[in-house]
Chains A and B, each alone.
Chain A
Amino acid sequence: MSILPDEKEAALMNSIIHKQTQVAIALEQIKDKFYHNVNAFMHLILLQMLGYFFAYNYSMSSGGGEFFNFTFKYMSPNALYVMTIFWMIIQGFTLAHEKSRQYYAVSNNFTAYFSDIALLEIYAVIAGLLTMFSGSLLQVFSSLFFDTVTLHSSYASLGIMNYLSLFFTGTLYFLIFGSAAYLVGILRVRFRAFFVLGTFVAMTLLLLGAILGVRFFGSAFSFSINTLFAFYLYETSFIMWLIKVLVTIAVLYLLSYAGIKNLEVNK
């Protein structure tokens, strides 16, 4: 059907073959995923605003319309952290679930994984930043509604290192939750039909393990979720804490990659 001789056709076709590296493709994917998932940040802001409601411990009173008294007893950032962690978990699941989108443009398992992980890290950094500035944001919000906002003396004494510490630890903790959710999402994509069954079997084994543990080791045998958190939260050495957190993230990354490697796009 072509009007060109075969050799010229072949030469023309060879001239349009490209060989970009996986990293170049992955970087393009990061930009693309970031662009298409930009709504995620709106969700984060909304969730954090919801978190502010739970963060305040306040009381209100009014005197016959003459005056209005609004007192914050204290503000705890825990609700903000919980909301942000919830958001990271959703993002981890969403990115893992989108593995069926490898049809989309140019991709393979490695570039898809690489860009997902990079995006999770960007999410964690932005979540860390927003959480770090939550105190200042609270002050701004309060200034909108009240003439006088008095800061607690301890708040005023926060230095740059405190802020950096808040940001650094927050970012890494968010990343742990995001990576864990990503791993679970990958396992779900990988094993599909067996995922529910596998979860049920795992829960049963845990329950059985607990029953047998108590039976053989007595009531001294206990393991709660608090023990798991304490492993990180009560670590007093910064270096040890950093090692624990980084190793945890690395293990989650490696397991995720093992889950995604050789995954077929068969949806």
Chain B
Amino acid sequence: MIRCKELTKYFTGTRALDGCSFEISEPGITGVIGVNGAGKTTLFKSIAGFLKPTNGEVYVLEEPAFQNITVAQNVILIEEGMNFYQSGNLQELMDTYSRFYLNYDMKLAKGLLRYFNLSGALKYDELSKGMASTFRLILALSARAPITLLDEPTSGMDPGVRKDLYDIILKDFIQVPRMILISSHYLGEMERILENILFIHEGKVLKHGALEEFETLLIAIQGAPSLVRSLEDQFAVYETKDIGEGLRRIVVEKSEFDHSKIAEELRASLTIQEISPEDSFVYLTRRKGGGIDELYHS
């Protein structure tokens, strides 16, 4: 249903997407994770048909996405920079959306407005950042579009409201299964509702798979410093750290470690811990060429 093949997008002097290839063919909630500037918003805008790929292809519902009216009426993208008519209040905006999105559930929209204490008489421009995010999410969920793209949907919200919203997204998905893609640079708080993760970094898809695959992506190996140092040349190391006296810790890819030819006795003398998906993303996207400690101690 969503298929990107070698999708590349250049803006003046910037390569926002660099040969992204992935396919989502089943309903589900997918987290699109990446740091700021990774290309998440550009990817969403390409899927929604707003941007024309510089190279490669984006197919949505088996049709090229760019400026395609079938794609437009079956995809809803919400993001912070959305424009609404200034003259319209929230109720009028919902009425408009209900005329364009034929699955629009007005009862749900009104219920969510009440739940979040938002009055339909308010104007969008009068809302605080968090309230505006909540309203956009209400629009997106009520539209019940087959493909729902939520770009940083909880931006500016209180932690309590954020948790509530993720619960609502999950409940809504269970009621009407569809493709929901949520972009964020935090994985932790939404991890519990995700089935799949699309991890992008510097415009490239680093990994796309089920959440479980990310739970065993990286491991920390801890042991005697001499022993651990002997391993450092054999693997791509994401972090090295001396922990007190007589202990050194490194972070490596689990698959690389599992397939290596390390003697069983050596393995037995090491302590191996799984790294959480959230921490794995931190390691994988960490800037190369010196950490913050080096900056302060130079």
Q: Please indicate whether A and B come from the same complex rather than being unrelated chains.
A: yes
Contacts A36-B85, A267-B81 given: A17-B29 contact, CB under 8 Å? no
Q: Knowing A16-B103, A101-B83, A106-B101 are in contact, say whether A22-B69 is a contact too (CB < 8 A).
A: yes
Q: Which residues of A contact B194 (CB under 8 A)?
A: 1
Decide: B45 and A266 in contact? CB cutoff 8 A.
yes
- By a CB distance below 8 angstroms, the chain B residues around A111 are 69
Interface membership of B102, Cβ < 8 A: yes
Query: When A12-B176, A22-B69 are in contact, do A264 and B61 touch as well, CB less than 8 Å?
Result: no
The answer to whether B83 and A100 touch across the interface, beta carbons within 8 angstroms, is yes
Q: Is the CB of A1 within 8 A of B193?
A: yes
Judging by beta carbons under 8 Å apart, are A266 and B146 in contact?
no
Across the interface, which residues of A come within 8 angstroms of B67, CB to CB? 108-110, 262
Quick check: B70 and A19 within 8 Å, CB to CB? yes
Known: A1-B195, A108-B67. A103 touches B83 (CB 8 A): yes
Q: Of A1, A18, A22, A103, which contacts B174 at CB under 8 A?
A: A1
Q: Which residue of B lies closest to A265 (CB)?
A: B50
B residues contacting the other copy or chain, number (CB 8 A): 46
Closest to B74 in A: A17
The residue among B50, B67, B81, B145 with the most chain A CB atoms within 10 A of its own CB is: B67
Within residues 198 to 253 of chain A, which ones have a CB less than 8 A from any CB in chain B? none
* Chain B contact surface mostly: loop
Query: A36–B73 contact, CB under 8 A?
Result: no
Chain A residues near B81 (CB-CB < 8 A): 103, 267
Q: How far is the CA of A104 from the CA of B45 in the complex (A)?
A: 13
For residue A57, CB closer than 8 A to chain B, the reply is no
Check: B43 CB closer than 8 A to any chain A CB.
Answer: no
Q: A1-B29, A2-B174 are in contact. Are A20 and B73 (CB under 8 A)?
A: yes
> Is there a chain B Cβ closer than 8 Å to A10's Cβ?
yes
Chain B's closest residue to A36 (CB) is B85
Residues of A contacting B50 in the complex (Cβ-Cβ under 8 angstroms) = 102-103, 264-266
Mask: chain A, 21-35; 1 = CB below 8 Å from B; 0 = not: 110010010011000
Complex Cα distance A265/B178, Å? 25
Neighbouring A residues of B101 by C-beta, 8 Å: 105-106
Contact residues in B for A100 (Cβ distance below 8 Å): 83
With known contacts A13-B146, A13-B178, A20-B73, A103–B68 Cβ distance under 8 A = no
Beta-carbon contact of B99 and A32 below 8 Å: yes
**A2-B27, A20-B102, A108-B69 given as contacts; is B52 within 8 A of A264 (CB)?**
yes
User: Footprint of B on A, CB under 8 Å?
Assistant: 1-4, 6, 8-10, 12-14, 16-22, 25, 28, 31-32, 36, 39, 100-111, 262, 264-267
